[in-house]
């Protein structure tokens, strides 16, 4: 089975070669087939290595002075490979069908870049050598940049590249600090010498790596590139870039903190917790007021990265305070949400891209009424929207619920300060969850429901089945992840166990529904309490591994929280069926139904502008959070002969909080610096010569005294 990794690489490379060799009109199909088949191989390899007892390692080749470039697929890597493969499979089919919409560049070249990006994303996840990691990370960043720009020259791409390179620099310094301590470049060596890190070193490595990986992962304060880059990326590639490459930053943060730093400083976790929750709130706040579906999704990616990091921070705090099971639970929640986010974000970006391409409209204010024209796209986007808004029975609900529940476990912690940070994070996440519903209700209803608000929509037609198939696949995955958490959690738990050295499965998925033997081992008080609430523990009435996801508080307090999305679904279906049946039996059968036009207040023509617009929907949020958003509203009046008003024009401008506080000050600082440097550039050759001589003298002087 271990050969499957090699096979998947070979399939991708074969795809690249085939695109380069074979005629251009076949390149899209080749990319789709090689991308999806390779992902199937990758998925089976990743699942196999997650469940196998041995860790797959391989040394590629020896480089003098650096050592072996080695790769290693441990359980954490395997989990991330699963998430990547689940995204890559539909995303490559999608890319192959939509790539022809890019007019600015050579499509087959872009597909080559796309397949290479898949390879390098996998390499980032499995490389276990600092040199190899930084190398593939750098190549990966450049490939993303090329795909984001896709032949155009976009400012957003440059910003992304500039910020990304800064991040890479920070990561490189962090890794070099670790390497100087461990005196080796291999990850195994770093893990072995973890105990010899001084506290100062730990903090600098933490800060630098958090900053560097946080840029890729979309955490504050350097996430301003995400919304810019995602909104200009072509539809063909955005699902993969958003679904798979954002994870790499989070992978880096989890990898460094879990494996290369001793889990002894509680401050790391608190920083992650607070930064994560604030990121989540700011992300969703701007997602709620944005006007472009892709930008909304970009901001929402930031929000979800925030949730994932919050849960990871909670896990770290639990681990440093010795609550291993709680740490495992929080980490399971974090990784579960990461997987879910990859799935529904890829799905939604496919939908948003398709809407933008087909309707040729970017603004939500000009969309509307698409559901009649694109029913299947609408259906799949609806599933994505329900998942991301954390609605049962879809996947977002399970992971957000687990995240909030694991934050509630802070009652077990001793330190008051840490507890307060948990409370703050919990409150921010709860607010985020509420705003997410508002945001995606708006995004869906304004694009799919109501009246068409522009003429180009009337020509919009449903997309082809090959474009719908990836969306359908992701929608099914989102649904399955939502109703089968009791099978997903033990799988993720395997990736979590090496980090926290405790299993969360028994705490999250109680085993006593399995058979009588397990039930007999449980404390009798626990079983009695279940009898009191009407559940027959271990009586084989509920068969199968855990239809119930549950927190067990301990022997004294049996059930703290219980939730079952599988049963919830069944109950919903039964109740829905009963309601429909009853209504049909009692009422509907005997009535005749008359269809008349809707009551519109009696106006002559209902114009689309009169209906609820996207800006109107977001207005309450704008007003409530006006202190954060700080919109600049300017009024312009046009008058004739000073008194007669002809028109009033109101313009609103919003500068993103992060832009206001981070990006623009940085830009101003850089400008000032360059002005200062420009003074040196007087253009006289004599002055330059004197600078050179001065520098030489100074360095000579230093070298004499050293």
Binding site for other proteins (CB under 8 A): 596-604
Report which secondary-structure segment, H or E, holds 145.
helix 130-149
Q: Report whether 478 contacts 388 (CB < 8 A).
A: no
Q: Which is nearer to other proteins, 23 or 602 (CB)?
A: 602
CB of 612 to other proteins, least distance (A): 17
Lookup result for tokens 């008051």: 416
> How far is it, in rounded angstroms, from Cα 262 to Cα 198?
10
CB of 452 to other proteins, least distance (A): 22
Q: Which is nearer to other proteins, 599 or 704 (CB)?
A: 599
Q: Which is nearer to other proteins, 607 or 698 (CB)?
A: 607
CB of 613 to other proteins, least distance (A): 22
Q: Which is nearer to other proteins, 543 or 595 (CB)?
A: 595
Q: Which is nearer to other proteins, 596 or 645 (CB)?
A: 596
CB of 111 to other proteins, least distance (A): 55
CB burial of residue 17 (10 Å; 0-12, 13-18, 19+): middle
Lookup result for tokens 């990561």: 171
Main-chain dihedrals φ then ψ at residue 236, nearest 5 degrees? -60, -35
> How far is it, in rounded angstroms, from Cα 547 to Cα 560?
17
Paired residues of 644 in beta bridges: 640
CB of 610 to other proteins, least distance (A): 15
Collapse the DSSP code of 66 into the 3-class scheme (helix H, G, I; strand E, B; otherwise coil) and give the result.
Answer: coil
> How far is it, in rounded angstroms, from Cα 600 to Cα 616?
18
> How far is it, in rounded angstroms, from Cα 483 to Cα 501?
27
CB of 579 to other proteins, least distance (A): 23
Q: Which is nearer to other proteins, 534 or 601 (CB)?
A: 601
Collapse the DSSP code of 222 into the 3-class scheme (helix H, G, I; strand E, B; otherwise coil) and give the result.
Answer: coil
CB of 594 to other proteins, least distance (A): 8
Q: Which is nearer to other proteins, 3 or 600 (CB)?
A: 600
Looking at residue 503, the DSSP 8-state letter turns out to be -
Closest CA to 223 of 305, 342, 133: 305
CB atoms within 10 A of CB 195: 7
Q: Which two tokens stand for residue 112?
A: 């080559």
Collapse the DSSP code of 241 into the 3-class scheme (helix H, G, I; strand E, B; otherwise coil) and give the result.
Answer: helix
Q: Which two tokens stand for residue 486?
A: 């009791």
> How far is it, in rounded angstroms, from Cα 521 to Cα 427?
38
CB of 604 to other proteins, least distance (A): 6
Q: ω into residue 393 within 30 of 0, thus cis?
A: yes
Q: Which is nearer to other proteins, 200 or 601 (CB)?
A: 601
CB of 600 to other proteins, least distance (A): 8
CB of 599 to other proteins, least distance (A): 4
CB of 591 to other proteins, least distance (A): 11
> How far is it, in rounded angstroms, from Cα 114 to Cα 96?
10
Q: Which is nearer to other proteins, 54 or 592 (CB)?
A: 592
CB burial of residue 574 (10 Å; 0-12, 13-18, 19+): exposed
Closest CA to 373 of 445, 460, 446: 460
Q: Which is nearer to other proteins, 597 or 632 (CB)?
A: 597
Q: Which is nearer to other proteins, 534 or 602 (CB)?
A: 602
Q: ω into residue 243 within 30 of 0, thus cis?
A: no
């Amino acid at each position: 089975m271990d050969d499957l990794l090699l096979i998947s690489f070979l399939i991708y490379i074969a795809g690249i070669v085939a695109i380069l060799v074979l005629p251009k009109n076949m390149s899209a199909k080749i990319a789709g087939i090689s991308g999806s088949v390779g992902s199937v191989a990758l998925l089976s390899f990743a699942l196999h290595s997650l469940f196998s007892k041995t860790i797959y390692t391989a040394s590629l080749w020896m480089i003098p002075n650096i050592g072996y470039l080695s790769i290693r697929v441990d359980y954490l890597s395997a989990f991330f490979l699963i998430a990547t493969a689940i995204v890559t499979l539909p995303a490559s089919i999608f890319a192959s069908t939509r790539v022809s919409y890019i007019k600015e560049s050579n499509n087959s070249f872009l597909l080559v870049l796309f397949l290479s990006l898949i390879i390098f994303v996998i390499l980032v996840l499995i490389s276990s050598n600092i040199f190899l990691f930084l190398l593939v990370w750098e190549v990966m960043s450049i490939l993303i940049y090329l795909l984001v720009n896709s032949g155009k020259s976009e400012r957003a791409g440059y910003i992304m590249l500039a910020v990304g390179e800064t991040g890479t620099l920070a990561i490189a310094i962090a890794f070099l600090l670790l390497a100087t301590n461990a005196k080796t470049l291999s990850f195994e060596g770093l893990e072995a010498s973890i105990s010899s890190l001084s506290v100062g070193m730990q903090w600098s490595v933490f800060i630098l790596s958090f900053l560097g990986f946080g840029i890729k992962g979309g955490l504050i304060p350097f996430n301003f590139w995400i919304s810019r880059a995602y909104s200009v990326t072509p539809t063909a590639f955005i699902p993969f870039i958003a679904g798979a490459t954002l994870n790499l930053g989070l992978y880096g943060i989890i990898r460094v903190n879990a494996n290369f730093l001793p889990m002894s400083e509680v401050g790391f976790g608190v920083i992650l917790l607070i930064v994560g929750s604030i990121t989540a709130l700011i992300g969703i706040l701007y997602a709620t007021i944005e006007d472009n579906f892709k930008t909304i999704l970009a901001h929402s990616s930031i929000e979800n990265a925030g949730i994932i990091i919050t849960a990871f921070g909670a896990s770290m705090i639990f681990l440093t305070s010795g609550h291993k099971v709680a740490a495992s639970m929080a980490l399971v929640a974090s990784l579960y949400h990461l997987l879910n986010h990859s799935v529904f974000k890829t799905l939604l970006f496919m939908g948003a891209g398709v809407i933008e391409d087909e309707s040729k409209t970017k603004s939500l204010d000009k969309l509307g009424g698409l559901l009649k024209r694109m029913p299947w796209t609408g259906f799949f986007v609806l599933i994505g929207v329900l998942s991301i808004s954390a609605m049962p029975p879809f996947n977002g609900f399970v992971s957000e619920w687990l995240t909030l529940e694991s934050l509630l476990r802070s009652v077990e912690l001793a330190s008051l300060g840490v507890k307060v940070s948990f409370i703050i994070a919990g409150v921010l996440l709860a607010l985020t969850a509420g705003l997410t519903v508002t945001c995606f209700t708006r995004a869906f209803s304004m694009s799919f429901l109501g009246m068409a608000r522009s003429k180009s929509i009337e020509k919009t037609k449903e997309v082809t089945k090959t474009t719908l198939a990836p969306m359908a696949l992701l929608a099914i995955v989102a649904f399955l992840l939502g109703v089968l958490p009791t099978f997903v959690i033990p799988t993720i738990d395997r990736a979590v166990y090496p980090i926290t050295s405790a299993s969360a499965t028994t705490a999250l998925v109680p085993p006593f529904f399995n058979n009588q033997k397990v039930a007999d081992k449980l404390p009798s008080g626990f079983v009695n309490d279940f009898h009191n609430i009407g559940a027959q523990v271990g009586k084989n009435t509920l068969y199968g591994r855990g239809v119930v996801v549950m927190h067990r508080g301990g022997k004294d307090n049996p059930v703290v929280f219980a939730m079952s999305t599988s049963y919830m679904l069944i109950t919903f279906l039964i109740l829905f069926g009963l309601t429909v049946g009853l209504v049909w039996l009692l009422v509907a059968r005997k009535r005749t139904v008359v269809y008349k036009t809707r009551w519109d207040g009696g106006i002559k023509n209902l114009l689309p502008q009169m209906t609820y617009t996207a800006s109107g929907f977001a207005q309450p949020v704008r007003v409530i959070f006006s202190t954060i958003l700080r919109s600049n509203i300017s009024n312009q009046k046009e008058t004739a002969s000073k008194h007669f008003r002809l028109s009033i024009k109101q313009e609103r401008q919003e500068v993103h909080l992060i832009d206001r506080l981070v990006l623009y000050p940085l830009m101003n600082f850089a400008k000032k610096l360059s002005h200062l440097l420009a003074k040196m550039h007087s253009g006289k050759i004599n002055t330059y010569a004197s600078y050179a001589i001065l520098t030489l003298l100074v360095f000579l002087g230093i070298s004499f005294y050293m």
